[in-house]
Amino acid sequence: MAESTTLRRYSAAGTRERILRGALAQFAGLGLSGASLREISKSADVPLSALHYHFGSKENLFIAVVEHYLGGLAKERLELLAACRERASSPSVEDIVDAFIRPLISLAATPDGLEYVRLQLRPFENPSIVQQMATLAAPSALPFLNALADALPGVSRPKLTRAYRLMVWGVVHTLVDSLYERLTQQPALPPKKPQQEQLRRELVEFYVAGFHALAGGP
Amino acid sequence: MAESTTLRRYSAAGTRERILRGALAQFAGLGLSGASLREISKSADVPLSALHYHFGSKENLFIAVVEHYLGGLAKERLELLAACRERASSPSVEDIVDAFIRPLISLAATPDGLEYVRLQLRPFENPSIVQQMATLAAPSALPFLNALADALPGVSRPKLTRAYRLMVWGVVHTLVDSLYERLTQQPALPPKKPQQEQLRRELVEFYVAGFHALAGGP
DNA sequence: GTCTATATCCGGATAGAC
DNA sequence: GTCTATCCGGATATAGAC
């Protein structure tokens, strides 16, 4: 009946995931340099050395967090884009914009997902991280740019890229911007589902109009 | 002929400004927690203690940098907005958007100005800073929101605020986004004046269309 | 694989000479 | 006002017992 006197508190299986969760929250709130491994280890309830054991370094952990949470979002977006292609041979601007925005709003409606969206605003601290983030982002960004180029054949690629970027960052900031939450006394993402649907329609409408304007009108 | 043996290298008059310049570059590149006062002191060529003597703390210095550089931008924007009001009793959406975007593009075309634009993407690290940034931003944001509300009477205030925020962050990111510079191999802000003018027209066009779409068409 | 203890360094802030 | 020297906490990372 003597319980093992080992100090191990958790199975190895769950440790990695708990670290990723804790790290997500810390990095999202404080950024790469602002977060500390000590705090992450506390919030994940693992010893500090477990972070190094599993991830090697702070930067590696950061990238691991991004990879872990980015995957689902990119997958969902690409699936929606593919679904448009099945319905019509080439998707409309509205289809494309919706396929981009819809999964992000769903994601932001979950607690972890919202943290991940916040994290996206923080990674620009050293060139190595920027490089790795760009590599991670490319596989989901390029199909959208290509689809937009097909839907708007009159618009040059640089123009399209800039407009795509307006959409990317505008939407992310809309969902998590604490500065404007304070300035305007409005929550960034409404808590209830119907209002979130409303917000999605509003965003799609806004950006579809913008894209069409670049092509010289709808 | 004996030169004074004092160690003072610079007059006090220039010290504050050099500190602000050095701090701007460091904070813009690395964020509040990523930048170090030691590096700032080196880049400004002043001793570390001068930073504390003139500004008291790292956070105070950060806020001082923002105040110092934000001033000119806000002033120029509000002047342009006032100028529209003189030409017509109530400015059009295009006037308002242009008054918002034009000074930012001019600012970003100067080296220090570009650093300041980059800095805007970094201040979200602790509640006290967010609070102070919101306070600093309000005096220039509210007149623009009010002007938009006048120009688009059919659009609710929350909708307008969200759209305004889309514009704020989209434009800032467009001018300095290193992630997409790498992803797309395009410089964020074109180096030559005519192309900058072109970019400005493009941005104005995009956002004017978006705002009008919210009102149910132009 | 897990955990404690520690090495090593760098950060912001300050004391006090000049 | 300016500058050197220093305090001290907290950071990442690692060594080594179990």
> CA B20, CA B110: separation in Å to the nearest integer?
16
Please tell me which residue of chain A has the smallest CA distance to B136. A183
pLDDT above 70: residue A13: no
pLDDT above 60: residue B11: no
pLDDT above 50: residue A125: yes
pLDDT above 60: residue B198: yes
Query: Mind telling me how many Å the CA of A108 is from chain B's nearest CA?
Result: 16
Domains with residue ranges and CATH for chain B: 70-214 (1.10.357.10)
The DSSP secondary structure of A70-100, one letter per residue, reads HHHHHHHHHHHHHHHHHHSSS--HHHHHHHH
State the sign of the Cα–Cα–Cα–Cα dihedral A87, A89, A91, A92. Answer: negative
- Average pLDDT of the segment spanning A113-131: 88
Give SS3 for A36: coil
pLDDT the model gives residue A36: 97
A130, B179 Cβ separation under 8 angstroms: yes
Q: Which of residues 16-35 of B touch strand C (CB under 7 A)?
A: 35
Residues 6+ apart with CB under 8 A from B215: B152, B154, B155
- Average pLDDT of the segment spanning A164-185: 87
Closest CB from A138, A177, A213 relative to B209: A213
pLDDT the model gives residue B66: 95
Q: Which residues of B touch A162 (CB under 8 A)?
A: 174, 186, 199, 202
Give how far Cα A197 sits from Cα of A103, A171, A192, B170, Å: 12, 14, 9, 22
What mean pLDDT value characterizes chain B? 90
Q: Which among B215, B98, B112, B212 is positioned nearest to B155, based on CA atoms?
A: B215
pLDDT above 70: residue B49: yes
- Average pLDDT of the segment spanning B54-81: 96
> CA A41, CA B94: separation in Å to the nearest integer?
51
pLDDT band at A12 (very low <50, low <70, confident <90, very high): low
- Average pLDDT of the segment spanning A58-65: 96
Q: Give the helix, strand, coil percentages of chain B, each rounded to 5.
A: 75, 0, 25
pLDDT above 60: residue A5: no
Q: Which among A57, A70, A56 is positioned nearest to A24, based on CA atoms?
A: A70
Q: Which of A175-189, B12-26, B131-145, B150-164 has the lowest mean pLDDT?
A: A175-189
pLDDT above 80: residue B8: no
What predicted TM-score, i.e. pTM, was given to this entire model?
0.92
pLDDT digits (tens, 9 = 90+) for B71-120: 999 999 999 999 999 998 899 999 999 999 999 999 999 999 999 999 99
pLDDT above 80: residue A91: yes
Residue of B187 and B13 predicted with greater confidence: B187
pLDDT above 50: residue A211: yes
Does the C-beta of A126 come within 7 A of strand D? no
- Average pLDDT of the segment spanning A136-147: 94
Residue A6 CB coordination number (10 Å):
6
Closest CB from B126, B178, B212 relative to A209: B212
Q: Which two tokens stand for residue A206?
A: 């806004």
Q: Which two tokens stand for residue B19?
A: 């500190």
A130, B182 Cβ separation under 8 angstroms: yes
pLDDT band at B177 (very low <50, low <70, confident <90, very high): confident
pLDDT digits (tens, 9 = 90+) for A187-196: 789 889 999 9
Q: Which two tokens stand for residue B15?
A: 């010290």
Chain A interface includes B83 (CB < 8 A):
no
Residue A7 CB coordination number (10 Å):
6
pLDDT the model gives residue A184: 73
Give how far Cα A204 sits from Cα of A77, A170, B67, B141, Å: 14, 12, 35, 24
Does the C-beta of B124 come within 7 A of strand D? no
What is the percent of chain A where pLDDT is above 70? Answer: 93
pLDDT the model gives residue B151: 97
B70, A73 Cβ separation under 8 angstroms: no
